[in-house]
Amino acid sequence: MTPEQLSPLRHTLAHLLAAAVGSIYKFDNIKLTLGPAIDNGFYYDIDMCGQKIADTDLPKIEKKMRELLPKWTEFTHEEMSKDEALAFFKNEYKAELIHEIDARGEKITVYTCGGFKDLCRGGHVENPAEEIANAGWKLDRIAGAYWRGSEENPMLTRIYGLAFESQEKLEEYANQQEEAKKRDHRKLGTNMELFAFSDLVGAGLPLWLPNGTVLVEELEKLAKESEFHAGYDRVRTPHIAKEQMYITSGHLPYYADSMYPPMEYEGGKYYLKAMNCPHHHQIFGATPKSYKDLPLRLAEYGTCYRHEKSGELFGLMRVRTLQMNDAHIYCTETQFADEFRAVNELYLKYFKIFGIDKYIMRFSTHDPKKRGEKYLNEPELWKKTEDMVRQVLIDSNIPYVEVQDEAAFYGPKIDVQVWSAIGREFTLATNQVDFGVPARFGLTYTNKEGKQETPLCIHRAPLGTHERFIGFLIEHYAGVFPTWLSPFQVAIVPVKESHDAKAKEIQQILRGHMIRAELHVAGDSLGKRIHKAKDMHTPYIIIIGDTEIESGNLTIERRDGTKLENIPLDTFLADIQKEIFDRN
C-alpha cells in the first residue's frame, strides 16, 4: 500500500495516541496541538506543560492505546462556529488553527471517536477498532519540535509512531531501519572523514573534507562529461543578485521564506542566490537569439543558499548550501518533447551507473483553484504543458505517478523518487517546465517567419545537489563506493621500513596515471595498517615485501577478500584504469 492509501489508518492512530496521552497525563494538564499522518506512520505534537515524558514511557502509552481501541468503533463529526470551537478546546494552539480555518472561510469540523473529540478535517478509517487491530503499528520515539516549525515558537513534545498494513510489513520496515542505522550517512561520513560541520561556520553548512571532495569532484566530472556529449554549454553566475531580479522572476514573494534575508548595499537590496534559473535567463537574454540557436542548453554547478529551518536540517540531506547539478534548456514548442525525453534518458543513464534499480517519476500538476495565488494564472499554458509532459512519460514507457497541487509556480514538474539498496526512498532530482518566467524577463528568439517568440524553458537537475546525492550514495553503498568514486582507490602497504622506497615508487607511478593511491608507512604494525585501509573500504590493497621487490610483481588484496598474486604493475594499472573509465 502507498502512503496515500495508508494515510487514513495513520491519521486515526494519531487521534488514538492523543486520546491515550490525555488519559494518562490528564487533558486539563496538557495542550494538544495537531497530529498528521507521515510516510512511515504518524505523530502528535503536545505541550506537556512541564510534565516529563521520555521514550521509556512509550510502552505505557501504547498499552493505553490498545486498552482504548475496542471502543473506537466509528467516527462522527460535527460543525462548530468559531466561538464554540474556541470555547471547547481552550488552548492557544487550537485557537490559532481555528482562527486560520475561519479566515479561509472553511467549515470548522470536530471529529469524535471513542469519546475523544479533536479538531480535524477528516480522513479516517471506517472501523478503527477492527482495522487498527489488524494493522502493524507501534510507538517509535519522542522528540522535540517547535510549534509550526518556527524557532520563535514554543518547543513541543512530538511522539512518533510507526504504522503499516500488517505486522509483517512493520517488521520488514523495522529490519530496514536497523540496516539503515549501520548505513547512516552522518556516521559513515564521520568515520570515513568525508564532511564535517562547524558551529563557527553555521548549522546546515557542510565542510567538505579531502575524502568527501573526491566524491564531489567525481560526480561533477561525470555530469560535465555527460552534458558535454549531450550538447550543453557551461556557464558561471554570481552568488548574489539584486532584489529586482527575483521580483521579476516571481520568486519574490512566492519563495521569500526559503531565501536568506536581503543585504542592504548601495541603496538597494541583494539576496544570496537561492536558485540558478534567473541568472541563466540573464545569460540567454545577453545576446540576440534565432530559432537556429535553439535548443540552447546552459549548465552550471551553481552554489545556492536556502534558509531551511534549523529543526529541519539533517546531515547532508537537508542543508542550507546546495551545490546544484543545474541546467536550463531553452527550446521551441516543437522541440520540447525530444528535449524533455532526453533529460529523462539522462536520469536512466545515471540510475544504471549507480545501480539504482527501483525508481518512479512523480509528475506534479497544479490545482486550478489556486491559479493566481500559488500558481501563475495561465489556464491554457497549464493544460498544454501538463499534457505535453504526460505524453512524453507515456511514450517513453517510464513509470510515473501523477499528483495534483505540487507543481512549481511556473509550470508542471517531475520529482524523481529512487530507492536505495536497502529499500529506503529518496527524492533526488527534478525536471521542470517553465512557461511563465522567460516571458517575465522578455526573453525571445526570432522564429522562421522573422517574428519574436518566447521560448519554453526546462529546468533540470538529474543529480540533484552534491549534498543530498552524496548522502544518498553513502547509504546506498554503505560507504563501499565503486572504484571510480572511492576516495581511496589503492592502498600501498610496505611490510617493513626497508620496503618504503619501493612502495613510494609504485605510488608515484599510480598517481602519475591519476590513480588515487595512498601510502601506509606509519609506525603501526602491518596488521593495523592493512586494517585501517580496509576500514576506509579501499578497493585494492597492495602489499610490498621482499617477494614483491625481488619479482617486480605485486600481491594485491581486493576489497572482497580475494587475493591476486604475482601481478605485473602494468597489468594492474591497465585493469584499474579500465574499471575507472567504464565506471563499473
pLDDT tens digits, one per residue of 392-416: 999 888 889 999 999 988 889 999 9
Q: Are residues 42 and 63 in the same domain?
A: yes
Asked if residue 247 and residue 128 are part of one domain, the reply reads: no
* Whole-number pLDDT of residue 422: 86
**HEC string for 49-80:** CCCCCCHHHHHHHHHHHHHHHHHCCCCEEEEE
Contact 445, 452 (CB under 8 A): yes
- With a cut of 80, say whether residue 2 has pLDDT above it: no
Mean pLDDT value of segment 134-141: 96
Judgement on whether residues 207 and 302 belong to the same structural domain of the protein: yes
Exposure string for 219-236, b = 16+ CB within 10 A, e = fewer: beebbeebbeebebeebe
* CATH number of the domain encompassing residue 503: 3.40.50.800
| Burial zone of 4 (CB within 10 Å; 0-12 exposed, 13-18 middle, 19+ buried) | exposed
Question: For 423-467, what is each residue's pLDDT tens digit?
Answer: 888 888 888 998 888 999 999 999 999 999 999 999 999 999 999
Task: Please return the burial class of 529, using the count of CB atoms within 10 Å of its CB with bins 0-12, 13-18 and 19+.
Answer: buried
- Domain span at 41: 3-176
Would residue 352 count as lying in a domain?
no
Q: Give the CATH number of the domain where residue 145 resides.
A: 3.30.980.10
Same-domain check for residues 37 and 106? yes
Whole-angstrom distance, CA of residue 91 vs CA of residue 333? 54
Instruction: Compute the distance between CA of residue 584 and CA of residue 576 in angstroms, rounded to an integer.
Output: 10
Residue 236 lies in a domain: yes
Residue 34 has pLDDT above 90, yes or no: yes
pLDDT tens digits, 523-534? 788 899 999 899
Shared domain check, 473 and 522: no
Concatenating the DSSP letter of every residue in 322-346 gives: EEEEEEEEEE-TTTHHHHHHHHHHH
Q: What is the pLDDT of residues 478-507, one digit of tens each?
A: 999 999 999 999 999 999 999 999 999 999
Is the same domain home to 130 and 260? no
277 has pLDDT over 80? yes
Q: Within a domain: residue 400?
A: no
Q: Which three cell numbers stand for residue 192?
A: 570515513
Characterize the bridge pairing of strands 321-331 and 400-404: unpaired
What is the structure's pLDDT at 307?
92
C-alpha cell at 93: 494552539
Q: What is the pLDDT of residue 524?
A: 84
Residue 454's alpha-carbon distances to 126, 329, 381, 439, in angstroms, are 52, 13, 13, 6
pLDDT at 26: 96
pLDDT, averaged across the chain? 93
State the DSSP code for 425. Answer: E
Q: What is the CATH number of the domain that holds 326?
A: 3.30.930.10
C-beta of residue 364 within 8 angstroms of C-beta of residue 413: yes
**Cell 521520555, residue?**
54
Mean pLDDT of 310-329: 92
Looking at the fold, whether 120 and 204 belong to one and the same domain comes out as: no
For 529-542, what is the mean pLDDT?
92
Q: In the listed set 147, 176, 205, which residue is the last one of a domain according to the structure?
A: 176
What whole-number distance in Å separates Cα of residue 151 and Cα of residue 149?
A: 7
Angle among Cα 444, 449, 455 to the nearest 5 degrees reads 25
Domain assignment present for 44: yes
Q: Does one domain contain both 433 and 502?
A: no
- 136 pairs with which residues across the strands? 164
**What count of residues does the chain have?**
584
Judgement on whether residues 129 and 169 belong to the same structural domain of the protein: yes
The confidence score (pLDDT) of residue 471 equals: 94
The set of cell numbers assigned to 522 is 606509519
> Of 119, 141, 176, which one is at a domain's C-terminal end?
176
For 81, the grid coordinates are: 462556529
Residue 36 contacts residue 14 (beta carbons within 8 Å): yes
Give the closest residue to 38 by CA, choosing from 145, 155, 150, 168.
145
pLDDT computed for residue 13 by the predictor: 98
Model confidence pLDDT, tens digit, residues 181-207: 899 999 999 999 999 999 999 999 999
- Rounded Cα distance between 434 and 381, Å, is 10
Asked if residue 562 belongs to a domain, the reply is yes
Residue 118: pLDDT band (50, 70, 90) is: very high
Domain-located, residue 378: no
Reply yes or no on whether the pLDDT at 292 is more than 80: yes
The number of distinct structural domains making up the chain is: 3
Instruction: For residue 384, give the DSSP letter.
Output: H
The whole-angstrom separation of Cα 111 and Cα 122 is 7
One domain, residues 439 and 511? no
Give domain status of residue 364, yes or no. no
Domain stop point among 477, 504, 522 = 477
- Look-up: residue for cell 505486522? 167
Residue 354 lies in a domain: no
Which residues contact residue 172 at a Cβ distance below 8 angstroms, ignoring those fewer than 6 apart? 164
Same domain assignment for residues 31 and 170 = yes
Q: Are residues 132 and 35 in the same domain?
A: yes
Q: What is the mean pLDDT of residues 67-95?
A: 95
pLDDT at 408 (0 to 100):
86
